């Protein structure tokens, strides 16, 4: 008897605890799902509308389940939509972005690795102060540099050229790449370098044999951050290039939000995706390193 009474009481308690667990879990997942839908909405909208026929978009609006799919808008955005009076699509601007971003990323990362190695393992008098001054470059607002760059590009005849943009992004990128690499190399034990020196290894040999083999994680982080930062830059591309010479991020705003002259939604959506894909691909492939760069960049 007593036992029979006791069991329902225990069961009730267990059931209560179970209910509390289930309801709090449900609340957490409901919250996350709601937010996830909000975060994914813009991505869904551009992907869907790049494949939907224009009459369907006009009729049902941008946020609606696609009924027919077609590839035409992608072709038009790539090779025939009108940008600044020329109707050859955004392909040239996409290639401009690649031609700008790849060299600027590679050069600034290599210089950053070299500088980071020197500033952490070959310190000289004043090197700490110089390092601090270099890192100030990370925080400079682009507006401070606009007039000086305009003058320098003009003097070097690099106005309205991809080469000019590469120069700007390399100089501005050195601070960032150096900061990242230096903070990483500082953690490599000095004893390792000392031992190599006693064995007669010089500057380059130590770099080649000890530093570089330990570098892939930081080089990947730096490359990812430089690539996304340079590809996504708008103000420099817009200020120093025009029309056919512009990188795609700069041209996109003119293409997609110019009111009456803007490309129709289907073509503009494809253009948006073409502009957003390279950094997004890097994010989805190198997500782990992307986050690592984030935490390092913010906390250091």
Partner 1 sequence: MTIAISSSLASPATPWRQRLMAWTPVLLIAPSLVASLIYVFGFTLWTLWISLSSSTLLPQYDFAGAKAYFELWSSPRWQIAYGNLLTFSVVYVGAAMAAGLALAIAIDQRIRAESSWRTIFLYPLAVSFAVTGTVWSWLFSPDAGIEFLAHQLGFTDFAFRLTIHRETALYAIIIAGIWHSSGFAMALLLAGLRSIDPDIVKAAMVDGASPARTYRKVILPQIAPIFLAVAVVLLQYAIKTFDLAVALTKGGPGISTTFPAMAVYDFMFQRGQIAIGAAGAIMILAALALVLVPYSLYSAWHARKESAR
For partner 1, which is the closer residue by CB, 11 or 58?
A: 58
Contact between 203 and partner 1 by CB under 8 A: the answer reads yes
CA distances from 258 to 62, 212, 252 (A): 18, 48, 10
N-terminal to C-terminal alpha carbon distance within the chain: 67
Here's the x/- map for partner 1, 45-64, by CB under 8 A: it reads as xx----------x--xxxxx
For partner 1, which is the closer residue by CB, 46 or 165?
A: 46
Here's the x/- map for partner 1, 143-162, by CB under 8 A: it reads as xxxxxxx-x-----------
For partner 1, which is the closer residue by CB, 99 or 192?
A: 192
Task: Give, as one character, the DSSP assignment of residue 259.
Answer: G
CB of 137 to partner 1, least distance (A): 5
Return d(Cα 119, Cα 130) in angstroms, integer.
9
Return d(Cα 216, Cα 224) in angstroms, integer.
12
Inter-helix orientation angle 216-231/287-299, to 10°: 90
Contact between 171 and partner 1 by CB under 8 A: the answer reads yes
One of 5, 141, 213, 261 touching partner 1 (CB under 8 A): 141
Beta bridge partners of 86: 83
CB of 12 to partner 1, least distance (A): 22
Burial of 101 (0-12, 13-18, 19+ CB in 10 A): buried
- CA 259 from centre of chain: 28
CB of 33 to partner 1, least distance (A): 9
For partner 1, which is the closer residue by CB, 89 or 279?
A: 279
Binders in 235-264 for partner 1, by CB under 8 A? 235, 239, 249-250, 252-253, 256-257
One of 93, 270, 275, 289 touching partner 1 (CB under 8 A): 275
Task: Give, as one character, the DSSP assignment of residue 208.
Answer: I
For partner 1, which is the closer residue by CB, 8 or 151?
A: 151
Q: What are phi and psi of 66, to 5 degrees?
A: -65, 140
For partner 1, which is the closer residue by CB, 22 or 294?
A: 294
Contact between 87 and partner 1 by CB under 8 A: the answer reads no
CB of 235 to partner 1, least distance (A): 6
**Number of residues this chain uses to bind partner 1 (CB under 8 A):** 89
CB of 38 to partner 1, least distance (A): 7
For 75-128, give the secondary structure using H, E and C: HHHHHCCCECCECCCCHHHHHHHHHHHHHHHHHHHHHHHHHHHHHHHCCCCCHH
Contact between 84 and partner 1 by CB under 8 A: the answer reads no
One of 7, 40, 156, 212 touching partner 1 (CB under 8 A): 40
CB of 123 to partner 1, least distance (A): 7
Binders in 99-138 for partner 1, by CB under 8 A? 111, 114-115, 118-119, 121-124, 130, 133-134, 136-137
Q: What is the DSSP string of 138-170?
A: GG--HHHHHHHHHHHHHHTT-TTSHHHHHHHHH
Return d(Cα 171, Cα 158) in angstroms, integer.
15
């Amino acid at each position: 008897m007593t036992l029979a009474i006791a069991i329902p009481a225990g069961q009730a308690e267990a059931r209560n605890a179970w209910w509390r667990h289930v309801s709090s879990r449900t609340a957490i997942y409901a919250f996350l799902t709601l937010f996830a839908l909000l975060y994914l909405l813009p991505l869904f909208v551009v992907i869907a509308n790049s494949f939907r026929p224009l009459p369907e978009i006009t009729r049902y609006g941008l946020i609606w389940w696609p009924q027919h799919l077609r590839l035409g808008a992608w072709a038009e955005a790539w090779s025939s939509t009108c940008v600044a009076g020329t109707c050859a699509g955004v392909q040239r601007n996409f290639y401009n972005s690649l031609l700008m971003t790849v060299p600027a990323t590679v050069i600034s990362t290599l210089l950053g690795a070299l500088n980071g190695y020197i500033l952490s393992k070959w310190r000289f008098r004043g090197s700490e102060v110089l390092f601090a001054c270099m890192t100030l470059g990370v925080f400079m607002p682009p507006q401070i540099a606009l007039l000086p760059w305009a003058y320098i590009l003009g003097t070097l005849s690099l106005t309205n050229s991809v080469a000019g943009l590469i120069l700007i992004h390399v100089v501005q990128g050195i601070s960032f790449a150096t900061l990242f690499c230096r903070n990483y190399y500082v953690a490599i034990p000095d004893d390792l370098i000392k031992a190599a020196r006693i064995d007669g290894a010089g500057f380059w040999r130590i770099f080649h044999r000890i530093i570089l083999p330990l570098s892939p994680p930081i080089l990947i982080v730096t490359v990812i951050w430089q690539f996304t930062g340079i590809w996504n830059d708008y103000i420099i591309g817009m200020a120093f290039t025009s029309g056919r010479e512009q990188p795609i991020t700069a041209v996109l705003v003119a293409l997609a939000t110019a009111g009456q002259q803007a490309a129709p939604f289907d073509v503009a959506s494809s253009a948006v995706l073409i502009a957003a894909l390279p950094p997004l691909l890097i994010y989805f492939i190198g997500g782990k390193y992307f986050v690592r760069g984030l935490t390092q960049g913010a906390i250091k």
